[in-house]
Amino acid sequence: MTAMRFAFTDDQKMLRDTVRDVLQRECGPEVVRSVWEGRPEAAAAVWATLAETGVIGMTASKDAGGLAMSELDSILPFEEIGYAALPGPLVDTIAVGIPLLDAAGTNSQKDQWLESVATGNGKIIVAFEDQAVVPYADSADVLIAERGGAPHCVPMSEVSVVPEPSVDRARQLARIDFEESKAHRMRDDVDGHALLSLAKERATLATAAQLVGLSRRMLDMAVQYAKDREQFGKPIGAQQAVKHRLANALIQQEFARPMVYRAGWSMATSQTTNEIDVSLAKIYAGEAATFVAKQALQVHGAIGYTIECDLHMWMKRAWALAATRGDAAFHRERVGRQVL
Partner 1 sequence: MDLDFTADEEAFRKECRAWLEANVPTEALRSGDTREGFRQHIAWENVLFDAGWAAVSWPKRYGGREASLVEWLIFEEEYYRARAPSRVTQNGIFLLAPTLFEFGTDEQKERILRPMARGDVTWAQAWSEPNAGSDLAALTSTARRVEGGWRLTGQKTWSTRATFCDMAYGLFRTDPAQTRHRGLSYFMFPLRTEGVTVRGVDRLDGDEGFAEIFLEDVFVPAADIIGEVDQGWKVAMATTSSERGLTLRSPGRFMATASRLVDLYHRHRDRSDPVLRDQVIQAWMDAQAYRWFTFQTVTRMMQGESIGADSSMNKVFWSEMDVRTHETALALIGELLELDEGAESAVDQGQWMKGFQFALAGPIYAGTNEIQRNIIAERVLGLPRK
Which residues neighbour 89 within 8 Å (Cβ) at sequence distance 6 or greater? 97, 123, 124, 125, 126, 135, 136, 139, 140
- Which of 14, 194, 251, 307 touches partner 1 by CB under 8 A? 251
What lies within 8 Å, CB to CB, of 25 at 6+ separation is none
How many Å apart are CA 216 and CA 225, to the nearest integer?
Answer: 14
Length of the chain: 340
State which of residues 83, 261, 291, 314 lies at the interface with partner 1 (CB under 8 A): 261
Nearest CA to 18 out of 47, 55, 68, 48 is that of 55
- Residues forming beta bridges with residue 159, ordered by sequence position: 178
Within 13 Å, how many C-alpha atoms sit on residue 213's CB side? Answer: 25
Burial class (CB within 10 angstroms; exposed 0-12, middle 13-18, buried 19+) of 233: exposed
14 counts as binding partner 1 under rule CB under 8 A: no
Does 259 bind partner 1 (CB under 8 A)? Our answer is yes
- Compute CA 276 distance to the chain's CA centroid, rounded to the nearest angstrom: 19
Query: Residue 339 CB, nearest distance to partner 1 (Å)?
Result: 5
Binding mask 72-101 for partner 1 (x = CB under 8 A): x-----------------------------
Could you please report the per-residue DSSP string of 235-251?
Answer: EGGGSHHHHHHHHHHHH
Q: How far is the CB of 77 from partner 1 (least distance, A)?
A: 15
**Smallest distance, Å, CB 186 to partner 1?**
32
Distances (CA, A) of 173 to 40, 125, 135, 170, 176: 13, 11, 4, 9, 9
Taking CB under 8 A as the binding criterion, the range among 27-35, 117-125, 154-162, 332-340 that sits at the site for partner 1 is: 332-340
**Total residues at interface with partner 1 (CB under 8 A):** 45
How far is it, in rounded angstroms, from Cα 263 to Cα 268?
8
Q: Which is nearer to partner 1, 22 or 95 (CB)?
A: 95
Residue 42 parent element (H or E): none
- Please identify which residue in 28, 52, 162, 255 interacts with partner 1, judged by CB under 8 A: 255
8 Å CB contact between 264 and 209? yes
Interactions with partner 1, residue window 201-240 (CB under 8 A): 223, 226-227, 234-235, 237-238, 240
Question: How many other C-beta atoms lie within 10 A of the C-beta of residue 205?
Answer: 31
The single residue among 138, 158, 254, 327 that binds partner 1, judged by CB under 8 A, is 254
Shortest Å distance, C-beta 283 to partner 1: 7
Sign of CA pseudo-dihedral 279, 283, 289, 293: positive
Q: Which residue lies nearer to partner 1 by CB, 86 or 242?
A: 242
In angstroms, give the least distance from the CB of 255 to partner 1.
Answer: 5
Contact map string, positions 271 to 300, toward partner 1, x by CB under 8 A: ---------x--xx----------------
| Least Å from the CB of residue 268 to partner 1 | 8
Contact mark string toward partner 1, 15..54, x via CB under 8 A: ----------------------------------------
Q: Of 160 and 338, which has the nearer Cβ to partner 1?
A: 338
Contact positions vs partner 1 (CB under 8 A): 1-9, 72, 223, 226-227, 234-235, 237-238, 240, 242-244, 246-248, 250-251, 254-259, 261-262, 265-266, 269, 280, 283-284, 332, 335-336, 339-340
